Amino acid sequence: MLYGCFRLILIFFSLACLILTCFAVTGSYENKSYLTPTYLINFHLNGLDLKKIIDDSVGSFGKRQHPDLKRGDVDLKREDTTATPTIAIPTGLAAAATSLINQPGFTSNLANVASSVGISIPSSVPTSTGEIVSTVQAAIADLLNNVTPAELGIADVYSTSFWGYCRGERISNGTTTFDNALGRFIDQNFDNSKVNYTWCSPPKAGFFFDPVEIFKQEMNRTIDGVAVDTQSQVVNQLSAQYKNELKVLIGNLTNEDLHLPGDLQKNLETLNNLTLAGFALMVIAACLSFISIIFQLLAFCLSPDSCCLSFLNFMFQFAIFIISILGAALITGCYAYVRRLVNENVGDFGIKSFLSINFYAFAWSAAVAALLVVIFNLLGHCCGCFGTGRRRYRRVETVAYEHHGEKY
């Protein structure tokens, strides 16, 4: 009876470890209300200052490894180093053209005619590398100074998980303050309990969180006029001029141009590798927990007298515990570090981050369940339920013998 009770306890906690690990791993797999709260970390951008995040020297050749300028879809003229062919113009025609250009009011009349047909004539066309860089930087500076993050298609909240990222909308409590640096009213109350997640990226195993690529994806949807949720509907109000400047920004934005708090940009690849390792450990723990449940069920039909099998079973369950706690500790350490760096710079960047209560509760509860399996397995051995230590009672028979002719 006692043997069966211990086996049931082991099965129960092994099953708990399996289910809790699966809940943690599959969180934010898609945009479902029961999945989106289970993320690794989220970022509130309702106070985001783009001028602090994006370097004002975007497009500078000095920061490029390759000499070519990234131009996006905007036609920026570059210096032509090829020889210009010489065209012979008749002397009379050249004199007539010069006389026409020198007439008073020629330039203004030409500009009026061009304006009437919708053609914009630039005051000067960049012909050298330096002028091109200056033009690119001026366009980006104009965009960052006059367009809000919401108008660029950037959401209030972003969360990241093992499978991708999700956009979220903050449910405002109506408390706003005017930010002089941003020149607009913003909601300074970073309340993580009032977030409605509205869209998630297609799930991808081994998702690599790259802020630059995410920004580009969001802004490309802005250019194309694609609204994935109610927040992104404001992108339709962006003028053609700002859309062209946005193309310039997308074409020139690199990882070097993004200013992330602390050493996040430098350690981004390491953090993503550690996240992938934590994900792999949790998947392994879930698979081994499932195998452990099968073994415990089979143990009801097998003899527990084999000391070797009993020891191997204990070591197997101990390995599950070690893998579970390593996976939970690895992910927690990584994103606690990220949260600390971001929240130490809230005032400068206007960003605040939070860890998911759901995910870390699932991950650490699974590790605790694996620990309880080990503890009850040890208790079972101490009580003699497993292995060769089970108590047995033998039948004692009375043996009759004679001593000096007397029967006893």
Under 8 Å between Cβ of 161 and 206: no
- The pair of structure tokens assigned to 191 is 């309340």
Q: Is 303 part of a structural domain of the chain?
A: yes
Q: Is 101 part of a structural domain of the chain?
A: no
| Cα(105)–Cα(113) distance, integer angstroms | 12
Q: Is 72 part of a structural domain of the chain?
A: no
Instruction: Report the 10 Å Cβ neighbour count for 237.
Output: 9
- The pair of structure tokens assigned to 175 is 């408390």
- DSSP-assigned beta bridge partners for residue 170: 195
Q: Is 250 part of a structural domain of the chain?
A: no
Helical packing angle, 129-146 and 240-252, nearest 10°: 120
| Cα(247)–Cα(225) distance, integer angstroms | 13
Q: Which domain holds residue 336?
A: 2-30+266-389
Q: Is 74 part of a structural domain of the chain?
A: no
pLDDT of the chain along its 408 residues, tens only?
Answer: 666 787 888 899 999 999 999 999 998 888 999 999 999 999 998 888 888 788 766 655 334 444 344 444 444 433 344 444 444 545 554 455 455 445 555 445 544 544 444 444 444 444 444 454 567 778 888 888 888 888 888 899 999 999 999 999 988 655 555 455 444 445 556 788 889 999 999 999 888 888 888 988 988 888 888 888 888 766 667 788 888 888 888 888 887 778 887 778 888 899 999 999 999 999 999 999 999 999 888 877 765 555 666 778 888 999 999 999 999 999 999 999 999 998 988 777 888 999 999 999 999 999 999 999 999 888 876 765 554 444 443 444 444 445 555 555
Q: Is 111 part of a structural domain of the chain?
A: no
- DSSP-assigned beta bridge partners for residue 184: 179
Q: Is 330 part of a structural domain of the chain?
A: yes
Phi first, then psi, for residue 272 (nearest 5°) are: -65, -35
The count of structural domains within the chain is: 1
Residue-wise pLDDT tens digits, 123-174: 444 444 445 456 777 888 888 888 888 888 889 999 999 999 999 998 865 5
Q: Is 58 part of a structural domain of the chain?
A: no
